[in-house]
Amino acid sequence: MIELYQKENCPFCKKVRDTLNDLNLDFICRISKDGTPQREMMLKLGGKAMVPFLVDQERGIMMYESGDIIEYLQAQYGAEASYKKSCCGGNCKCQNMDTSSDTPKVCPVE
């Protein structure tokens, strides 16, 4: 699961949230306000008092900097998102997709 440590009114965080939404990625939104346990966890994991901070647990990735985060998300998940769009408009829960193929398989849930 992807976790985003963020603040609601932070423009850099909004850019990252928009990218996650564009890619149809589920994520856990952690509100990283001063004095919260989420903030403490972010400092423990990443060491910096800055948002956004992304944790991609499955891939063992932790990173700051919105530009780097967006680049990472697009490189890692962009092919999958465009495959889903070509398959069924991005609304299904396709599993085990072969994103290396240009020819979409038939969506298993449609």
Ligand X SMILES: N[C@@H](CCC(=O)N[C@@H](CS)C(=O)NCC(=O)O)C(=O)O
- Per CB under 6 A, residues contacting ligand X are 7, 10, 12, 49-52, 65-67
Residue with smaller CB distance to ligand X, 19 or 52 = 52
Residue in this structure with the two tokens 């994520």, named with its chain if needed: 27
Name 28's Cβ contacts closer than 8 Å, sequence gap at least 6: 1, 2, 3, 4
Contact 73, 19 (CB under 8 A): yes
Minimum distance from CB of 57 to ligand X (Å)? 20
Q: Minimal distance in Å, beta carbon 86 to ligand X?
A: 31
User: For residues 32 and 8, is the Cβ–Cβ distance under 8 A?
Assistant: no
Q: Which is nearer to ligand X, 74 or 82 (CB)?
A: 74
CB of 46 to ligand X, least distance (A): 11
CA–CA separation, 83 and 104 (whole Å): 7
User: By C-beta, is 67 or 108 nearer to ligand X?
Assistant: 67
